[in-house]
Chains A and B, each alone.
Chain A
Amino acid sequence: MNHLTEEQFVLYYYGEGDGSPAVRAHLDCCESCRAAYANLQRVLNVVDSAAVPERGANYGAQVWNRLQPSLGTKWGRHLDLSSWWPIRHWAASALVATLIIAAFLAGRNYPKAPSGAPTATASQVRERILLVAVGDHLERSQTVLLEVVNAQPGQPLDVASERERAGDLVADNRLYRQTAARTGDTRVASVLDDLEPVLLEIAHGPDRLTPEEVESLRQRIEGDGILFKVRVAGSTVRHRQDKAPPPAGQKSL
């Protein structure tokens, strides 16, 4: 009797191919194939249970909120960003390249420290530069959020200047988020991810918010704990900055 092949097992497992009844019949009477198939089942069942991070029920709405400004050409409110992906990727690469060059130059220009003193490597210098940039970004974002959160209840709010600042911050935010994600800084990336839709909403909203719009924005900022997260992330980034080893030739404070 010919035994079943691995390919037949795989097709049978997935319910593909037209040989299922024959495979079934063979499995019923062949112990060795039954054991081999059971092994395959166990392996594939284990693969099946590998987790995917959960996305909440309103995930689709979040995607839409992030997406909407980029679809502006046809539907009116915003600029044509149809080539958004390549531009952003180019910009992200440019940012990373700038950081690397800055780190390289910083490494070259710092005088050598006496041997034995703790000094920063190029990657630490690069991290330090990034931390400074992200810390500054979080601080500026916090200022914009505070403007909304601290608005007089029941009053309209003029956010023309915050809108402009938010517009600048959105582009930076995405770049820092991508960089943080690539460098494995998942918590910074997550905070920046939460921050982005709010910045987008402010950036693409009107110059003057009605009391209802202010309230809705405030609830969103406070309800999702975004301001809190930005504060914590900002202070943690600053803390990490302080703890980073000083560049060669510089004394620790």
Chain B
Amino acid sequence: MNSLMELSDSVAVEQARAGDPGAFRVLVERHSRNLFRLAYRMTGHQQDAEDVVQETFLRAFRQLSKFDDRASFGTWLYRIAANCSLDLIRSRKRRGAQTEPAGAEGAPDPMQSLPDPSPAPDRLAMSGEIEHEVATVLAGLSDMERTAFVLRHYEGMCIDDIGRTLGVQPNAAKHSIFRAVQKLRRALEPLVSTAS
């Protein structure tokens, strides 16, 4: 497995296409954490993010033959994950499910006798109010704004790649980011000023 882990993405894709499960496993193990992070930022829910990761690899597996070798496999996965996240968010909206934003996941839970599965000490470093506000604003962004912002801000993807990922012109991606930043700024500036 160690030598497999050293495979580049493109070689692993090639071997996976040839029917080598070990090569696909390398891709899964290599990209899972990044995809989880993206999916969590997009959906705001751990369990939804887990489902998105799973579904992303299933879709990638089914579409492996369509993957263009000239492209980056990571970007291609990101595109699938972003679409899966959007599908999930839309279906959530359709169901009318009232879901809590990421910052509110520690809502009252009757099963307190079990250890918390997701202790997040780093959360303590930040005021709960600000974190909650960030989560609320992110949850209130349009699908396009949130996706473009998450890809730019958290994942460091350039605007051209975001356009490609979302299947829109770079200009549209750019304006989605502007709008997202504007909304965040409007909501957070007063809190940040108070905090500082």
| Interface residues, chain A, with chain B CB atoms under 8 Å away | 6-7, 10-11, 14, 16, 39-40, 42-44, 46-55, 59-61, 63-64, 66-68, 70-71, 74-75, 82, 84-85, 89, 177-178, 181-182, 184-191, 193, 229, 232-233, 236, 240
Contacts and interface: CB of A to CB of B under 8 A. Distances in A.
Nearest to B105: A186
Contacts of A47: 134, 153, 184, 188
B62 A82 contact: yes
B134 to A, nearest CB: 5
Contact of B181 (A44, A61, A64): A44
Contacts of A85: 55, 58
Nearest to A71: B61
B28 interface: yes
Nearest to B116: A187
Nearest to A225: B115
A68 B30 CA distance: 15
Contacts of B58: 67, 70-71, 82, 84-85
B28 A185 contact: no
29 contacts: A6-B181, A6-B182, A7-B178, A10-B181, A16-B174, A42-B196, A43-B189, A44-B181, A46-B188, A48-B153, A50-B103, A51-B122, A52-B41, A54-B118, A55-B33, A55-B36, A63-B53, A63-B54, A64-B29, A67-B58, A68-B21, A82-B58, A178-B47, A184-B107, A184-B109, A186-B118, A187-B114, A193-B47, A193-B117
Contacts of B36: 52, 55, 59
Contact of B114 (A10, A44, A193, A233): A233
Nearest to A184: B107
B45 A181 contact: yes
A171 to B, nearest CB: 15
B40 interface: yes
B193 to A, nearest CB: 8
Contacts of A68: 21, 25
B126 A53 contact: no
Given A46-B192, A75-B21, A85-B55, A53 B152 contact: no
Find the residue from A52, A67, A232 having the highest chain B CB count within 10 A: A52
